[in-house]
Amino acid sequence: MILPGSTIGVMGGGQLGRMFVIAARTMGYKVAVLDPDPGSPAGAMADYHVQTAYDDTVGLARMAELCAAITTEFENVPAESFQYLQDHCQVHPSPAAVALTRDRIREKSFLRDSGVATAPFLAITDDGQLDMAINDIGTPALLKTATGGYDGKGQVTIHSAADVHQAYQELGQVPCVLEKRVALAREVSVVLARNESGQSACFPVAENEHINGILDTTIVPARIPATLAQQARDMATRIADRLQYVGTMAVEMFVTEEGELLVNEIAPRPHNSGHFTLNATVTCQFEQQVRMLCGLPAGDTRLLSPVVMINLLGDIWNKGEPDWASLLVHPEIKLHLYGKAEARIGRKMGHFNVLHADPDHALELSQQAKTHLGILEK
């Protein structure tokens, strides 16, 4: 076990890294962050901010020198950087797991080969495959870049077979996945922690609502039957086992209108839909990340209260600082801001959690708070 007083590190300095740093420092660890941004939200909270590119060997050597163990806050750190770090110190999750989840073709093929249900898909690596693929998949469909897409970016909706060639051009003719767009009843996710001994601890299943491809609302517990929630937890655990994963991870899933669970994506890190754990569970997802990295037992994942999480995007800063008083007058609301200097349209700036014993009241209060802040559905 790596115990408090040691220095641990995180690759990436955004809000997920920031909340990891806060959890680690609360537990008594020192933390190093590697991020090229001088205004990094995580770097501002860390003991050490290594301000270099993710593939800079001097920066990587400094992280390896400082840290007993290193994790990541996002998938797009070069695989070679993770491999370098693993050769010098403990790294979780493994470079292999991160590399698989950053590529949709590899990720979806892994899920299919593991016997995990997904929406029908085909890999596209050149435009000669487009016509046959759209004939097999049908419409409506989604064309998604194999790498780099997030929050609705890097994907185009295909309404007819004629759309697919233009969409491929728009996405830069890079490797893609063509995926059948299925009729959904709900979107859910499971955040879990898994240790080196193969023991997993799942948080309660979260129900998620997106606007323009960006998570807007998370409701916990998810409004699905208990048997389906258990199936979701079992499916996420099975995926983590197949990956031999160590750390905190999230699995996004679709619930079809027929009640079938389909896996959409794997995130090898804490997840936006797990932010409810900061206030509503015994242990939060970021403390779990610290615990798994340091070889400690998983913390208790019990839900203390029903909760609704609302994302705060840069859009609501368009008329100046938002009216935080309209939130903070409610004792049930917990505000979390990420320390980002510049608010931009679509940029995640913070979130708030609404806790109440009555889930319906928590949801109603969350919607009232959105209205006061000027968060409008588009």
CATH class of domain segment(s) 7-91: alpha beta
Decide if 118 contacts 142 (C-beta within 8 A): no
Fold of 184-373: D-amino Acid Aminotransferase; Chain A, domain 1 (3.30.470)
What pLDDT sits at residue 378? 45
User: How would you classify the pairing of strands 7-11 and 30-34?
Assistant: parallel
Does the reported pTM lie above 0.75? yes
Residue of 61, 54, 53, 50 lying closest to 88 (CA atoms): 61
Percentage of residues in the chain with pLDDT exceeding 70?
A: 99
User: Model confidence over 242-252: pLDDT tens digits?
Assistant: 999 999 999 99
149: which 2 tokens? 């897409």
Q: How far apart, in Å, are the Cα atoms of 178 and each of 14, 147, 299?
A: 30, 13, 39
Chain segment 36-75, per-residue pLDDT in tens: 999 999 999 999 999 999 999 999 999 999 999 999 999 8
> Please, are residues 157 and 213 in contact by the beta-carbon 8 Å criterion?
no
Beta strand 184-194 pairing with 200-202: antiparallel
Sign of CA dihedral 261, 267, 272, 274: positive
Taking only the tens place, the pLDDT of each residue in 251-309 is: 999 999 999 999 999 999 999 999 999 999 999 999 999 999 999 999 999 999 999 99
Identify which of 170, 151, 262, 293 has the alpha carbon closest to the alpha carbon of residue 216: 151
Looking up tokens 């679509």, which residue turns up?
346
CATH code for residues 120-180: 3.30.1490.20
Amino acid 377: pLDDT: 55
Write down the domain spans for the chain: 7-91, 120-180, 184-373
